Amino acid sequence: MKILSPRQRTIVNLLAQKGDVRVEEIEQNLNISKATAYREIQWLSSQGYAAKTPGGLSRMTAAPGNCLQCGRESNPRAAFLAERKDGSQFSACCPHCGLMALTHRTDILSAMTTDFFYGTLLNAAHAWYVLNSRVSPCCQPSVLSFASLSDAQGLVQGFGGELANFTDALEKIKTLTQL
């Protein structure tokens, strides 16, 4: 999976907070040239992190579809999307099913998950996950994903659950769903 540079991460976080960002805001926030800002916009949109707009970027939300794992309709606040090596895509209703699908597949090229607070898509490998909290919008045990570690920690403080990065979340989902 593609790794976000600290600069790209900052832009994705800005998008998560604001919904869209203009190229001028990217320049100012990161103190970079317009040309560099455009390069980052190009890259982020080509990788599916955001949609390009005439003046910058706007966050994407997942298109509705049925969950590959359980057949439920995807929850726009929680959807999980993955691309296979052959270019085909599948969606899962929430990170619970998305992570489950990833644990027994070897043909996945990349995966995107939805930030539970902002409804924006981000690279699943860089998200923070909260497993088994009392907030359960979709499948049980609940798995929610966040772009920001402090948002994930805030959820845990308020509603319990276990904080995990992508690798740990994949391991934990196997154990949790065996209960």
- By 3-state DSSP, what share of the chain in percent is helix, strand and coil, each rounded to 5? 40, 25, 35
Q: Which amino acid is at 71?
A: G
Cβ atoms of residues 85 and 109 within 8 Å: yes
Residue with tokens 């604001």: 18
List the one residue from 8, 69, 123, 148 that touches Zn ion (CB under 5 A).
69
Q: Rounded distance, CA 81 to CA 74, Å?
A: 10
Using CB under 5 A as the binding rule, whether residue 94 contacts Zn ion is answered as: yes
The nearest distance, CB 173 to Zn ion, in angstroms, is 12
Using CB under 5 A as the binding rule, whether residue 70 contacts Zn ion is answered as: yes
Q: Which is nearer to Zn ion, 14 or 97 (CB)?
A: 97
Size of the site for Zn ion (CB under 5 A): 10
The nearest distance, CB 81 to Zn ion, in angstroms, is 12
List the one residue from 67, 81, 152, 164 that touches Zn ion (CB under 5 A).
67
> What is the pairing mode between strands 89-92 and 108-114?
unpaired
Chain residues in the site for Zn ion (CB under 5 A): 67, 69-70, 72, 93-94, 96-97, 138-139
